[in-house]
């Protein structure tokens, strides 16, 4: 995982500082430690790079990395870059068979400074260089020895070039223009260099490149043959990360939902029809997603079943290998992802591609790897989501999935009307008074150590999503259950005062809530009408089949305040990253 950024230039002599700046824009990929190396220096620090003002001896070349720890704890030694003799590198991904190679090198008498898999790659490249002095073939040979997904950016002492290679983990080249015409940028994602250029080359899997200033040559990683690449102009504008009047991105993005729901479903009838025809073309749809997007996908399972009579099989992408025998040319693989870069999903899509399955996706990043690998893709257009905990992207995913379910049943207009209504109700709902009230509810929960959430039907996945939201930002243990399931075990945990959030007010859910209340639970109801059972009531608009989208909004605000009242940073919770590009 992690963010990588590098610069090779003829005339920029503050490459180190600029790499630090670019990495600050990739912090969502990991923020536990960071490091930057130029030709003559290497700085590595534990903590967030956003706090850094590091300066470097003037240099035209630098490589850097912002880390989310996989192998080895959060220490300066384990942070990247890693250097062994002439080789300095940064690595994003996982080198799965690193231990056997490390043991072999240890037996040869080599020593390691870190616990990482990445440092072993530096040793392997050096081993090859000792044999041939040819860096290109050294990297090719090492790539053959490595299993797993990776992108690497390598500097060799005494050489001007930067060498890069990709298998699975994203890597994009930015071609400098105007005053940066003699400069090339290398990054795991476009925002790192968007202030300099919007002309890019995507490095695809099993490709490598050798970069010297503006001179960039691409090669097949296996054969070494030269590849020609088209320059692609991306339409992105640099979205300035601006919290505006808000204290954190999370609450800003929650309030962005006043507009984002409308943009999510603002596709033409033709675009929707084309997507639906691809969805209908197969014989079996598997929806793959992770984390919050997975919970939005379970909601979609309910939408498609109840609105269109279609069974969608929703599987967390990391579990999909257990069902891989069902992936064939008849299968539709439907990926739901905010970032479009999640490794667990990409792995399955790669397999689907090989087997001739149809690949559909919805993402928030149109230039992402998932969008590019897809046969049909629809953007959710939520706008940049900076906070690690997903809010507006989640509801945008659900809105688009709900619309697609209506379209699948030839009722696109009915879906559009429903979602327009929802968008306008959400616009009214999200106001400072509502926020203040939910904050006061959060104050009553601040000392609790467990929260249970129940919901039925499409509110069941929202119970799961609510639990994730509360846990990831407030670190309070929270667990979501299907409303009818509490009595089959978890009810044993209910004591006097245990907070239980009840999503919905249909009679069956209310009966289940009653069972909890009878055992002492404090009930926080999320519904469009109040109920005598509710000790506290979080009001939502009446939203029909879109109730799942409406219900999650107050929980997002509640989670935000549970975090901030505890003095936590909801934008960058501990141990997490926004874009997870390792399995
Ligand atoms: C990470 C994030 C989650 C996100 C999940 C899937 O774990 O912390 O918020 O839901 O990845 O990400 P995606 O970009 O594929 O939606």
Residues 265 and 186 in one domain: no
Pocket test for ligand 1, best of 27, 290, 300, 341 (most atoms within 8 A of CB): 290
Closest CA to 175 of 189, 186, 164, 160: 186
Beta strands in 1-60 (DSSP E): 3-9, 33-38, 42-46
Could you tell me if 217 and 306 lie in one domain?
Answer: no
What's residue 236's pLDDT? 65
Pocket probe mutation, ligand 1, options 369, 386, 577, 580, max atoms within 8 Å of Cβ? 580
User: Is 578 contained in some domain?
Assistant: no
pLDDT of residue 241: 57
Taking the centre of ligand 1 as the mean of its atom positions, its distance from the CA of residue 413, in whole angstroms, is 31
Pocket test for ligand 1, best of 578, 582, 583 (most atoms within 8 A of CB): 578
In a domain, residue 243? The reply is no
User: Given 208, 233, 258, which residue is the final one in a domain?
Assistant: 233
560 and 508 inside one domain: yes
Q: What is the pLDDT of residue 240?
A: 56
The closest residue, in CA terms, to atom 5 on ligand 1 is: 291
The number of the ligand 1 atom at minimal distance from the alpha carbon of 291 is 10
Closest residue (by CA) to atom 1 of ligand 1?
Answer: 578
* Domain span at 448: 249-564
Catalytic residue among 384, 469, 578, 583: 578
pLDDT of residue 72: 83
Collapsing DSSP states into helix, strand and coil, what is residue 492? helix
CA 477 / ligand 1 centre spacing (Å):
19
Residue 480 and residue 502: Cα distance in Å, rounded?
10
Buried b / exposed e along 61-86 (16+ C-beta atoms within 10 A): bbbbbbbbbbbbeeeebbbbbbbbeb
Let me know whether 320 and 186 are in one domain: no
With the most atoms of ligand 1 within 8 angstroms of its CB, the residue from 292, 340, 341 to mutate is 292
Boundary of a domain, candidates 177, 204, 233: 233
Same domain, 196 and 283: no
CA dist., res. 62 & res. 120, Å (int): 21
Same domain, 12 and 92: yes
Query: What value, to the nearest 5°, has the Cα angle with vertex 533 and ends 531 and 535?
Result: 100
Catalytic residue among 2, 290, 500, 505: 2
Question: pLDDT digit of tens for each residue in the chain (583 aa)?
Answer: 588 999 999 999 999 999 999 999 888 887 889 999 999 999 999 988 888 889 999 999 999 999 887 788 889 999 999 999 999 999 998 898 999 999 999 999 999 999 999 999 999 999 999 998 899 999 999 999 999 889 999 999 999 999 999 998 889 999 999 999 999 999 998 889 999 999 999 999 999 999 999 999 999 999 999 999 999 998 766 665 578 899 999 999 999 999 999 999 999 999 999 999 999 998 999 999 999 999 999 999 999 999 999 999 999 999 999 999 999 999 999 999 999 999 999 999 999 999 999 999 999 998 889 999 999 999 999 998 989 999 999 999 999 999 999 999 999 999 999 999 999 999 999 999 999 999 999 999 988 999 999 999 999 999 999 999 999 999 999 999 999 999 999 999 999 999 999 999 999 999 999 999 999 999 999 999 999 999 999 999 999 999 999 999 999 999 999 999 999 999 999 888 777 776 7
Which residues are near ligand 1 (CB < 6 Å)?
A: 290-293, 337-339, 342, 388, 390, 576, 578-580
Q: Distance, CA 394 to ligand 1 centroid (Å)?
A: 10
State how far the Cα of 504 lies from the Cα of 42, in Å rounded to an integer.
Answer: 55
Region of 236 (left: φ > 0; alpha: ψ -120 to 50; beta: rest) is beta
Q: Is 490:442 a contact under the CB 8 Å cutoff?
A: no
Q: Are residues 193 and 305 in the same domain?
A: no
Q: Locate the ligand 1 atom nearest the alpha carbon of residue 345 and give its number.
A: 15
**Which residues in 477-574 belong to E strands, given as ranges?**
477-482, 499-503, 522-527, 536-539
Identify whether 583 is part of a domain: no
Residue nearest to ligand 1 atom 8, measured at CA: 578
Q: Which atom in ligand 1 lies closest to the alpha carbon of residue 342?
A: 15
Residue 576 lies in a domain: no
Which residue blocks in 334-480 are alpha helix, DSSP H? 343-354, 369-373, 392-408, 412-429, 432-445, 459-474
* Closest ligand 1 atom, residue 577 Cα: 8
On whether residue 400 sits in a domain, the answer given is yes
Q: Quick check: is 288 in a domain?
A: yes
Do 217 and 263 have their domain in common? no
The predicted model scores a pTM of 0.86
In the block, residue with structure tokens 């846990």: 471
Do 382 and 525 belong to one domain?
yes
Total structural domains within the chain: 2
Distance 460 CA to ligand 1 centre (A): 19
Does the active-site annotation cover 505?
no
Residue 339 CA: nearest ligand 1 atom is 14
pLDDT value of residue 319: 97
C-alpha separations of 458 from 69, 202, 205 in Å: 35, 39, 38
578 noted as active-site residue: yes
| Ligand 1 atom closest to the CA of 294, numbered from 1 | 10
Within-domain flag for 61: yes
Q: Which two tokens stand for residue 569?
A: 């940073």
* Ligand 1 centroid to residue 189 C-alpha, Å: 16
Verify that 222 and 257 share a domain, yes or no. no
* Atom 7, ligand 1: residue with shortest CA distance: 291
Same domain, 298 and 181: no
For residue 444, what is the domain's CATH number? 3.40.50.10490
Distance 451 CA to ligand 1 centre (A): 22
200 shares its domain with 288 = no
Cα 438 to averaged position of ligand 1 atoms, centre (Å): 25
Give the CATH number, domain containing residue 209: 3.60.20.10
Query: pLDDT at position 31, please?
Result: 82
CA distance linking residue 450 with residue 574, whole number of Å:
19
Residue 239 lies in a domain: no
> What spacing in Å lies between the alpha carbon of 529 and ligand 1's midpoint?
32
């Amino acid at each position: 995982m992690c963010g990588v950024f590098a610069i090779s230039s003829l005339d920029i002599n503050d490459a180190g500082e600029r790499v630090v700046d670019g990495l600050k824009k990739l912090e969502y990929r990991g923020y536990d430690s960071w490091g930057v190396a130029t030709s003559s220096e290497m700085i590595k620090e534990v903590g967030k790079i956003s706090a850094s003002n590091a300066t470097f001896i003037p240099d035209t070349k630098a490589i850097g990395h912002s880390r989310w720890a996989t192998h080895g704890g959060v220490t300066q030694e384990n942070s990247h870059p890693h250097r062994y003799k002439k080789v300095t590198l940064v690595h994003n991904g996982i080198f799965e068979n690193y231990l056997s190679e490390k043991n072999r090198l240890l037996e040869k008498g080599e020593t390691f400074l870190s616990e990482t898999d990445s440092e072993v790659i530096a040793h392997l490249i050096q081993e090859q260089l000792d044999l041939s002095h040819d860096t290109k073939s050294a990297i090719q040979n090492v790539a053959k020895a490595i299993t797993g997904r990776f992108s690497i950016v390598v500097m060799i002492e005494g050489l001007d070039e930067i060498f890069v290679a990709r298998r699975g983990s994203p890597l994009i080249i930015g071609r400098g223009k105007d005053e940066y015409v003699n400069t090339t940028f290398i990054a795991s994602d476009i925002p790192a260099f968007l202030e300099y250029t919007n002309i890019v080359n995507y490095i695809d899997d099993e490709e490598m490149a050798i970069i010297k200033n503006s001179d960039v040559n691409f090669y097949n990683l296996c054969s070494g043959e030269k590849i020609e690449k088209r320059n692609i102009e991306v339409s992105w504008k640099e979205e300035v990360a601006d919290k505006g009047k808000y204290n954190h991105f999370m609450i800003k993005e929650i309030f962005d939902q006043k507009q984002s729901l409308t943009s999510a479903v603002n596709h033409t009838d033709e675009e929707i029809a084309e997507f639906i025809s691809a969805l209908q073309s197969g014989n079996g749809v598997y929806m793959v997603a992770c984390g919050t997007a997975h919970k939005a996908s379970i909601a979609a399972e309910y939408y498609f079943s109840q609105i269109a009579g279609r069974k969608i099989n929703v599987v967390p992408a990391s579990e999909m290998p257990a069902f891989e025998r069902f992936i064939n040319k008849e299968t539709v693989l439907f990926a739901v992802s905010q970032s479009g870069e999640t490794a667990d999903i990409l792995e399955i899509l790669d397999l689907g591609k090989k087997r001739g399955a149809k690949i559909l996706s919805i993402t928030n990043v149109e230039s992402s790897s998932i969008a590019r690998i897809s046969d049909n893709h629809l953007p959710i257009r939520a706008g940049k989501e900076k906070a690690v905990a997903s809010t507006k992207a989640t509801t945008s995913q659900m809105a688009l999935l709900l619309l697609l379910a209506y379209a699948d049943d030839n009722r696109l207009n009915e879906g559009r009307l429903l979602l327009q209504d929802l968008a306008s109700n959400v616009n009214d709902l999200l106001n400072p008074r509502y926020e203040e009230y939910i904050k006061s509810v959060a104050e009553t929960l601040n000392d609790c150590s467990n929260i249970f959430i129940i919901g039925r039907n499409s509110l069941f996945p929202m119970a799961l999503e609510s639990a994730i939201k509360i846990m990831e930002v407030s670190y309070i243990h929270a667990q979501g259950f299907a409303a009818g399931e509490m009595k089959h075990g978890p009810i044993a945990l209910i004591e006097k005062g245990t907070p239980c959030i009840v999503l919905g007010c249909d009679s069956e859910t209310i009966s289940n809530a009653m069972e909890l209340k009878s055992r002492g639970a404090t009930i926080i109801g999320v519904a469009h009408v109040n109920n005598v059972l509710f000790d506290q009531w979080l009001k939502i608009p009446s939203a029909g089949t879109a109730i799942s989208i409406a219900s999650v909004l107050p929980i997002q605000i509640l989670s935000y305040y549970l975090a901030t009242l505890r003095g936590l940073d909801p934008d960058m919770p501990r141990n997490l990253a926004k874009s997870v590009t390792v399995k």
